[in-house]
Amino acid sequence: MTGEGGRGRFAGRTVLVTGSTGMAASAARAIAAEGGAVFAVSRTATHLAELAAGIGAAGGTCAWHAADLRREPDVTRAFAAFDRQRRRLDAVYSVAGISGRRFGDGPLHEATLEGWETVMGTNATSQFLVARAAVQRMLRQEPDANGARGAILLMSSVLADHPAPEFFGTHGYAASKGAIDGLTRSTAATYAAQGIRINAIAPSLIATPMSRRAQDDPRIVGYLRAKQPLAAGPIDTEAVTAVALHLLSDDARMVTGQVVTVDGGWSVSEPGSAPAQ
């Protein structure tokens, strides 16, 4: 662990991460390990405290604030808490979201309005609110030595463009992630001239607490062996984190408006198809 101010791609930089488990926790730990100061925001204070304690024990820096990111006042308070601790916001990784199945999401003919509204609110509205607050703050910042005011990375999903109806027929979820793709491209075009980069990352089935149901289903595990051949099953969070950190860092300073898929081959594979001879 290099610690804040040490050597690494994020040395001397502050990154706000939404979420406190799974992909968010993996990224927060990796950013801190590369010298960045992390500010984590999610609904569950106990998860946030555990994440911050682990990063601190490893020599890193992680402050946190509990907030329901679906609510505009909560997002405002979260960014105010950030402002009280940090002078500059260098990057935002907006990870927090849900699958929505237990709330009533599913195939269109079975989905409930509650399921649709819950998924859209948690996966799309929350990212809109976080991105808006981040852009407003970054616009007030002076450009750095590279002419950059900040980088934002939103969370999409491979299901927005590559459906898998046999096991993943949650249409509200797919729509919420499609909204993120559109938000990413349109906002990136608007703010590129101000030195703000906005991209999205689109994972497939990742080994996180949110995907526990799928990981415990032998039929889905068998499906993933062929659908995600590079992983032969669920993808580990570190594989997503590696791409996310690239997009958040100056290594990707010429990349904006892109939805980058991390899917282990999902989008180019069909289970049951024979390999080419």
The domain spans of the chain are: 14-265
What fold does the segment set 14-265 form as a domain?
Answer: Rossmann fold (3.40.50)
- SS3 sequence of 120-150: HHHHHHHHHHHHHHHHHHHHCCCCCCCCCCE
Residue with the two structure tokens 């500010």: 39
Name which residue leads in pLDDT, 100 or 230. Answer: 230
How confident is the model at residue 7, as a pLDDT? 72
d(CA 72, CA 6): 35
Give tens-digit pLDDT for 195-237: 999 999 999 999 877 767 777 788 888 899 999 999 998 999 9
**Where would I find the beta strands (DSSP E) of the chain?**
14-18, 37-42, 61-66, 91-94, 150-155, 196-203, 259-262
Q: Name the H helices within 40-170.
A: 45-57, 72-85, 113-120, 126-139
Query: Are the CB atoms for 15 and 248 separated by under 8 Å?
Result: yes
pTM of the entire predicted model: 0.94
Cα-to-chain-centroid distance, residue 152 = 10
How confident is the model at residue 273, as a pLDDT? 54
How confident is the model at residue 208, as a pLDDT? 79
The rounded mean pLDDT for the chain is 93
223 is catalytic: no
- 174, 194, 200: which is closest to 261 by C-alpha? 200
How confident is the model at residue 207, as a pLDDT? 86
**Residue in 93, 173, 191, 223 annotated catalytic:** 173
d(CA 26, CA 185): 26
| Vertex 118 angle, CA 117 and 121, to 5° | 80
3-state SS class at 50: helix
Give tens-digit pLDDT for 117-151: 999 999 999 999 999 999 999 999 999 998 999 99
How confident is the model at residue 209, as a pLDDT? 73
CB neighbour list of residue 69: distance below 8 Å, 6 or more residues apart: 18, 41, 42, 43, 75, 78, 96, 126, 129, 130
How confident is the model at residue 70, as a pLDDT? 97
